[in-house]
Amino acid sequence: MTGTGVPNGDMPNFPHLPLQDESAVTDADLAALLAGKRDVGPRLQPVADVLAALSTEPSAGELMGEARALAEFRRRTGVPVPLRLVRRGTAGVTSRLSTKVATGATAAAVLLGGAATAAFADALPAPIQRFAHDAIGAPYTPAATQHVPAHAKPVAPAGPLASRGMPKASAKPHAAGRHAKRHGQSQQGNGQGQGNVQGQGNGQGQGQGQQDNGQGTPRTQPSGVPHGQGQSDGQGQGRQGNGLGNPHAEGQYGDPHNPGQQGSPHPNPKPAPRHARPARHAPTMDT
């Protein structure tokens, strides 16, 4: 009887599992098997035989692909040439030369393109910008004239030639119109203006290009009577915006905030000097 009152022979069919002798196989034995040792214990002997069978001498079938491999080897290698000679081959030199030329051309293109972009953005230092101005017509604005008056904020366009786009906050029409150069390019904003200003004298002609990459054709000029000399002639309507240019204007100045302004119909018989400095503020209207 067992302790719980069950007879010992109550479950005669229950198989008695033999204890598994796991301790007989150690990691050292397994490592020895992997290392190629075959004199292991009897429990691992079948495994050793399997591993030995995996490492037997190659059969003829396992060597049948030799001809194919050698053919590929011959095709790939061709005439045996030392590595150094291969590297000095003409093809290699040509390839490397072409690569260098292409790389240099690409770098030069990138540099020139970047320089041109910077030049037209007036982002270069003054001497270089001036050179770019002379060479490729990039805008050039002396640093002293880049001051933007406080009242140069764009206003709503008016008049029939008002800009089609809304003025940008960064637009500086006043300054741009004032300093437009003979190339008629203004660096304020993206516009380029061409003016046919004929205002002479101390009246300031003003050409205004339309804002946002447009080209304006200011018709006019007139504007104030700075210094009490001369009046600008013609009548113009300045477009609101920042792209201003006046390739032929002399002594130009105007008030872009007053589109549609009327100028005096009588030109000033005494033109002002070519680079007369206009009055900065107080452009008055000749109405």
Summarize as ranges the residues that interact with another protein (CB under 8 A): 25, 27, 30, 33-34, 36, 43-44, 46-47, 49-51, 53-56, 58-66, 68-70, 72-74, 76-83
Beta bridge partners of 264: 233
Contacts of 186 (CB under 8 A, 6+ apart): 139, 176, 177, 179, 180, 192, 193, 209, 242, 243, 244, 245
- Would you say 68 or 275 has its CB closer to another protein? 68
- Would you say 81 or 111 has its CB closer to another protein? 81
User: Minimal distance in Å, beta carbon 138 to another protein?
Assistant: 51
Would you say 266 and 231 are in contact if contact means Cβ atoms under 8 Å apart?
yes
User: Minimal distance in Å, beta carbon 55 to another protein?
Assistant: 6
Alpha-carbon distance of 167 to 177, in angstroms, equals 15
- Would you say 49 or 134 has its CB closer to another protein? 49
User: Minimal distance in Å, beta carbon 13 to another protein?
Assistant: 23
Question: For the chain, what's the residue count?
Answer: 287
User: Minimal distance in Å, beta carbon 102 to another protein?
Assistant: 25
215: DSSP letter: E
- Would you say 42 or 160 has its CB closer to another protein? 42
Would you say 170 and 189 are in contact if contact means Cβ atoms under 8 Å apart?
yes
User: Minimal distance in Å, beta carbon 89 to another protein?
Assistant: 13
- Would you say 9 or 80 has its CB closer to another protein? 80
Alpha-carbon distance of 55 to 163, in angstroms, equals 88
Would you say 193 and 246 are in contact if contact means Cβ atoms under 8 Å apart?
yes
